């Protein structure tokens, strides 16, 4: 895999805090490759790898390539409901741009608007009783990061390492940006920003650490 700063930040955090992750949750996976890479790096068994992907084509591909992972064909959101999803039709058109959020400059000929099941993460975790803490949670959901985090409810405090793709400028309509998400995590919840890498003018990879892992204030 080419050098990826999101994955390098996870490695650095685990090394600094002497964490041996026992599970990983990837929300908005596209292909399952990041979960696979991290599971091999940290020797995480496939039954402790949880992948969430609402795009029907991506979901089928992940099932085919990584059948031993726990793979869910659902979106994560701040409500448990049926919701519309903007699904890019063809993998050649960057299927990873599919989103729950709408976008002005995305050619409507490239995507279908479909209904998908959306769940709050706290409701999901209620059905996975053997998971007490989430060691690594990786979220890449094209503009819906804030809503996904809100869906954790009080279970957000059970996440130790939180890796996010966050927008610095609006790409998706009415989305929350870095300042909103950073304030939510650092002022309303017990996280601090461990590292940030600017992918481009619009987006950054950010890694947050639960303060329970450290005396950092």
Render 105-157 in DSSP notation, one character per residue: TS-GGGEEEEEEEEE-HHHHHHT-TT---EEEEEE--TT-HHHHHHTTGGGGG
Delineate the domains of the chain, giving CATH numbers in brackets. Answer: 5-213 (3.40.50.150)
- Among 44, 19, 202, smallest CA distance to 9 is for 19
What is the per-residue pLDDT for 107?
81
**What would the mean pLDDT of 86-96 be, rounded to a whole number?**
82
Q: Is the pLDDT of residue 109 over 90?
A: no
pLDDT class of 90 with cuts at 50, 70, 90: confident
Q: Quick check: 216 pLDDT over 50?
A: no
More confident residue, 201 or 196: 196
Instruction: Please tell me the pTM assigned to this model.
Output: 0.94
Q: What is the mean pLDDT of the segment spanning 35-43?
A: 98
List for the chain the helix, strand, coil content (%; round to 5).
35, 30, 35
Q: How confident is the model at residue 105 (pLDDT cuts 50, 70, 90)?
A: confident
Span 50-72, mean pLDDT?
A: 97
Residue 2 pLDDT? 59
Mean pLDDT of the chain: 93
**pLDDT at 21 > cutoff 90:** yes
> Tokens 């609402």 identify what position?
54
pLDDT tens figures, 158-186:
999 999 999 999 999 999 999 999 999 99
pLDDT confidence bin for 143, thresholds 50/70/90: very high
| pLDDT tens-digit series, residues 3-19 | 788 999 999 999 999 99
């Amino acid at each position: 895999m080419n050098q990826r700063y999101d994955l390098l930040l996870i490695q650095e955090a685990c090394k600094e805090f002497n964490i041996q992750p026992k599970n990983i949750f990837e929300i908005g996976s596209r292909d399952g490759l990041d979960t696979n890479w991290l599971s091999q790096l940290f020797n995480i068994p496939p039954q402790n790898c949880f992948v969430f992907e609402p795009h029907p084509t991506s979901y089928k591909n992940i099932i085919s390539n990584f059948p031993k992972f726990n793979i869910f064909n659902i979106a994560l959101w701040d409500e448990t409901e049926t919701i519309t999803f903007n699904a890019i039709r063809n993998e050649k058109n960057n299927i990873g741009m599919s989103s729950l959020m709408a976008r002005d400059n995305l050619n409507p000929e490239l995507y279908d608007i479909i209904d998908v099941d959306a769940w709050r993460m706290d409701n999901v975790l209620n059905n996975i009783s053997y998971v007490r803490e989430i060691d690594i949670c990786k979220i890449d959901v094209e503009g819906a990061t804030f809503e996904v985090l809100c869906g954790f409810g009080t279970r957000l405090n059970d996440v130790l390492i939180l890796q996010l793709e966050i927008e610095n400028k609006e790409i998706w309509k009415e989305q929350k940006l870095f300042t909103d998400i950073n304030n939510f995590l650092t002022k309303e919840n017990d996280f601090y920003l461990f590292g940030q890498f600017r992918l481009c003018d619009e987006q950054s990879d950010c890694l947050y650490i639960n303060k329970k892992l450290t005396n950092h204030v």
